[in-house]
C-alpha cells in the first residue's frame, strides 16, 4: 500500500498530511466496459480511496493532490507516536446541553470524549464518559483501509478508557456494543507523527510535527 502526502489542502485535511492508502484506481466516472475505457483519457483521473475526509465520510482523493512519501523520511521515526484525531461521533456521544466540562470542537475532543495524554505519547488515550442504561460489554475497532478488526470485552460502568499507543497510523471505526447491538460509535484517524512539505530544492523536504 502506498504512503502518500497531500500537496495541498483537501476537504478537512491540511497540506503535508501523510496517509497510507490502497493502490490508486480509476475514478467513479470510468466506464465498466473495457473497450470504452481504453478510449477515455483516464490516466490523470486516477484516485485513491480515502476512508475519511476529516468528518468520518469516505471519499475519492485525486492522484494529482498527492505525491509518494520518500521512504527515507520515515526511517527511524516512531510511526505509532502520532496523535489520534476524532472525526465523527454517534448522537449518543454528543455533548449534553449546557455541560461545559467536555470539549466540543473536533478534532480536539467532542461530547462525552476527552483526550488524556499518556506517558508515552500525546492524544493517544481517550476517555469516554458513557453513563447510560445500556450495559456495554464489547469494543470493536476496525481498520478502514485493510479491514483488520480487533475486539475485546469491557466492564460496564460510567467510563471507558481506550489507549492507542500501540496502533499504527490509519483510519478506524470504533463501536461499543451491548451483546450484538451497537450503542456508541465514532470514527478516528491515528495520524502520522509528521507533516511533509516540498521545498524549492528537489528531493529536499520540510518536516514538522503533526498539529492535531
As a whole number, mean pLDDT of residues 5-9 equals 96
C-beta of residue 189 within 8 angstroms of C-beta of residue 85: yes
User: Distance of alpha carbon 81 from its chain centroid, rounded?
Assistant: 14
Is residue 69 very low, low, confident or very high in pLDDT (cuts 50, 70, 90)? Answer: very high
C-beta of residue 16 within 8 angstroms of C-beta of residue 195: yes
Is residue 40 very low, low, confident or very high in pLDDT (cuts 50, 70, 90)? Answer: low
Is residue 172 very low, low, confident or very high in pLDDT (cuts 50, 70, 90)? Answer: very high
Tell me the C-alpha distance between 201 and 179, whole Å: 56
As a whole number, mean pLDDT of residues 149-168 equals 87
Backbone angles phi, psi at 115, to 5 degrees: -80, 140
Domain boundaries, the chain: 3-75+192-209, 80-190
Compute the mean pLDDT over every residue in the chain, rounded to the nearest whole number.
Answer: 84
Tell me the C-alpha distance between 31 and 37, whole Å: 6
pTM: 0.83
As a whole number, mean pLDDT of residues 149-165 equals 86
Check: CATH 3.75.10.10 for 80-190?
Answer: no
Residues 175-191: pLDDT tens digits?
A: 998 888 998 999 999 99
Tell me the C-alpha distance between 50 and 60, whole Å: 6
Q: Which cell is 166 given?
A: 500501540
Residue 80's alpha-carbon distances to 127, 153, 159, 163, 192, in angstroms, are 19, 24, 25, 12, 7
Q: Per-residue pLDDT for 121 more than 70?
A: no
Q: Per-residue pLDDT for 106 more than 60?
A: no
Amino acid at each position: 500500500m502506498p504512503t502518500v502526502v497531500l500537496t495541498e489542502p483537501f476537504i478537512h485535511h491540511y497540506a503535508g498530511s501523510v496517509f497510507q492508502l490502497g493502490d490508486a484506481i480509476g475514478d467513479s466516472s470510468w466506464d465498466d466496459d473495457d473497450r470504452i475505457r481504453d478510449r477515455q483519457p483516464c490516466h490523470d483521473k486516477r484516485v485513491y480511496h480515502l476512508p475519511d475526509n476529516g468528518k468520518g465520510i469516505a471519499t475519492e482523493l485525486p492522484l494529482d493532490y498527492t505525491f509518494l512519501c520518500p521512504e527515507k523520511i520515515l526511517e527511524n521515526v516512531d510511526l505509532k507516536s502520532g496523535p489520534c484525531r476524532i472525526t465523527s461521533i454517534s448522537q449518543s456521544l454528543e455533548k449534553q446541553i449546557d455541560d461545559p466540562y467536555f470539549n466540543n470542537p473536533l478534532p480536539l475532543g467532542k461530547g462525552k470524549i476527552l483526550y488524556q495524554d499518556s506517558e508515552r505519547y500525546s492524544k493517544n488515550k481517550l476517555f469516554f464518559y458513557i453513563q447510560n442504561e445500556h450495559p456495554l460489554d464489547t469494543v470493536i475497532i476496525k481498520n478502514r483501509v485493510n479491514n483488520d478488526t480487533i475486539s475485546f470485552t469491557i466492564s460496564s460502568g460510567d467510563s471507558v478508557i481506550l489507549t492507542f499507543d500501540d496502533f499504527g497510523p490509519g483510519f478506524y471505526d470504533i463501536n461499543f456494543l451491548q451483546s450484538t447491538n451497537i450503542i456508541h460509535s465514532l470514527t478516528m484517524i491515528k495520524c502520522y507523527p509528521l507533516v511533509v512539505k516540498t521545498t524549492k530544492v528537489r528531493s529536499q523536504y520540510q518536516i514538522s510535527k503533526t498539529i492535531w
